[in-house]
Amino acid sequence: MASYKLQSSKREVGSKAAAEVLASGYIPAEVYGHNQPNFHVKVDQKDFTKLFREIGETHLVELEIEGEGSFNVLIKDVQYHPVTDRIEHVDFYIVKMDEKLTTQVPLEFVGTAKAVKELGGVLVKTKSEVKISCLPADLISHIEVDLSKLNTFDDVIHIKDLPVPESVEILADPDEVVCSVVPPKVEKAKVATSSESEEPAGESKPDESGSGDQDSKKE
C-alpha cells in the first residue's frame, strides 16, 4: 500500500469552474486509469504542494476521493502558471498493484570522482534519469550513481553498473554511458609577430628574376 495519503473531493468541469477552484485554494485534478471512469477532483493547494515537493512523481499515493473510496495513484503530470509558477492542474494515474508499470526515475550522483579532484578532469553526465519497469510496490524514488568509481579518464559508468533491486528493470541499453570524466582542455597560446605573419608595410621583396629597373634603357 501507498505510504503517502491525499484527500480530494469532486468538482465541476470547465474553465470558469477551474478558475473558481484555484481561487478557493484548491487545484483542479483528473484521476484516470485501468478501466476506471475519469474523476474530476480538486486537492488542497498547500497539502499537494508540500507532498509533491517531498516525493515528486516516483512514489505511490493513496488518493481518497470523497464518495468513491481510495485509489493507489501516481502523480503523472503537473501544470504550472507560466508567470507565477503556481501549480494549476494535476493528473493522477490509477495503478494496479499486481501489474508492472513504467516510469522515469532521476539519477542521484553521489561521491567524488578521483579523476576530477586529483587529475583536474571534467565530469560529463549523459543521463539525468532513466525509465524503469516494476510492480508498484517495488517503485524506487531514485538511483544512486557512485562517482568514486571514476578514478581515471578511462573509467566509465554504464547503465549496467547502476545499482537497482532485482525487482526493478532499467529499460535502456546496458552499455549506454551514464557518466565519465574527460581530460581538461589545454589551450596552446599562439604568439604572432609581424615579422612571422606578414611582411613589413611599405617594403617588397627584391625581384629575383633580374627584371625591373636594371633592364631599363638609359637615354
Give the model confidence (pLDDT) of 143-169 as tens digits.
999 999 999 999 999 999 999 999 999
106 and 34 together in one domain: no
Q: What is the CA radius of gyration of the chain?
A: 32
Residue 75 has pLDDT above 70, yes or no: yes
Does 41 reside within a domain? yes
In one-letter notation, the amino acid at residue 185 is K
> Residue 117's domain is classified under what CATH number?
2.170.120.20
For residue 190, tell me if it sits in a domain: no
CA pair distance 49, 57, nearest whole angstrom: 12
Reply yes or no on whether the pLDDT at 191 is more than 50: no
Do 15 and 83 belong to one domain?
A: yes
Q: Among 63, 78, 95, where does a domain finish?
A: 95
Residue 127 sits in the same domain as residue 54: no
Last residue of a domain, one of 64, 95, 126: 95
Q: What is the CATH number of the domain that holds 40?
A: 2.40.240.10
Domain membership of residue 214 (yes or no) is: no
Sheet containing strand 122-125, edge to edge, reads 122-125, 177-182, 156-158
Q: Which domain holds residue 107?
A: 102-182
Q: What are the tens digits of pLDDT across the range 100-139? A: 999 999 999 999 999 999 999 999 999 999 999 999 999 9
pTM: 0.72
pLDDT score of 168? 97
Of 18-22, 34-38, 54-58, 205-209, minimum mean pLDDT range: 205-209
Judge whether 209 lies within some domain: no
Per-residue pLDDT at 15: 87
Count of structural domains within the chain: 2
The answer to the question of residue 138 being in a domain is yes
Of the three residues 95, 127, 146, the one that is the final residue of a domain is 95
Q: For residue 1, what pLDDT is reported?
A: 55
Domain membership of residue 218 (yes or no) is no
- Do the domain assignments include residue 198? no
Co-location of 8 and 91 in the same domain? yes
Is 8 in the same domain as 65?
Answer: yes
Look at residues 50, 36, 142, 148 and name the one whose alpha carbon lies nearest to residue 95.
Answer: 36
Query: Exposed, middle or buried, 165 (CB in 10 Å: 0-12/13-18/19+)?
Result: exposed
